[in-house]
């Protein structure tokens, strides 16, 4: 089984592309549990909320993996939760870095317009730049393989398709 995780600042197309590629490739995807959590519990988050979100995300991943798909797309994982912890609280608990890792991470750049949707926090250019840097630093800190996704929506789709195609060709 190959796992590809979308990673990066808010409002960069991760969820939209995960759903689209899931349909196009006929593979499952695991949505972002944190979004559901915030819609149900609000966005006034404490570190314990982030730790709970990490556990909820992992439970969803385990359920998807139990079906043993050849390819699984993850809208996010605990490395992104660690980036959230760093962004919100200037600290990322080590336990967020100890979850299983995807085979490939695709880092989405914040070079598309930000859209407020009620669960997003960091919409200014300065905040987006900082969040993107923290997200990248988490990937570097975790020493995971990653590629960059940028450009307009068509370019993003083509880049993600190419990255997934290259990874699956190697398997």
Instruction: Dump pLDDT digits (tens) for 10-31.
Output: 889 999 999 999 999 999 999 9
* φ/ψ of residue 129, rounded to 5: -65, -45
- The predicted model scores a pTM of 0.92
Q: Which domain holds residue 96?
A: 2-170
* φ/ψ of residue 11, rounded to 5: 55, 45
CATH label of the domain that carries residue 36? 3.40.50.300
User: What is the per-residue pLDDT for 11?
Assistant: 84
Closest CA to 8 of 101, 88, 100, 79: 79
Instruction: Dump pLDDT digits (tens) for 51-88.
Output: 999 999 999 999 999 999 999 999 999 999 999 999 99
Angle subtended by helix axes 33-41 and 47-65, to nearest 10: 130
Q: How many domains does the chain have?
A: 1
């Amino acid at each position: 089984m190959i796992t590809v995780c979308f990673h990066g600042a808010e409002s960069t197309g991760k969820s939209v592309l995960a759903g689209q590629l899931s349909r196009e490739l006929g593979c499952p995807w695991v949505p972002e549990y944190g979004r559901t959590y915030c819609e149900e519990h609000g966005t006034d988050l404490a570190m314990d909320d982030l730790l709970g979100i990490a556990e909820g995300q992992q439970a969803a991943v385990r359920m998807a993996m139990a079906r043993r798909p050849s390819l699984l797309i993850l809208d996010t994982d605990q490395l992104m939760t660690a980036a959230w912890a760093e962004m919100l609280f200037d600290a990322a608990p080590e336990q967020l870095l100890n979850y299983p890792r995807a085979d490939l991470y695709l880092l989405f750049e914040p070079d598309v317009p930000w859209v407020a949707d009620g669960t997003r926090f960091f919409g200014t250019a300065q905040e987006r730049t900082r969040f993107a840097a923290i997200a990248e630093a988490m990937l570097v800190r975790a020493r995971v393989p990653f590629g960059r996704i940028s450009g307009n929506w068509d370019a993003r789709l083509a880049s993600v398709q190419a990255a997934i195609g290259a990874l699956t060709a190697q398997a």
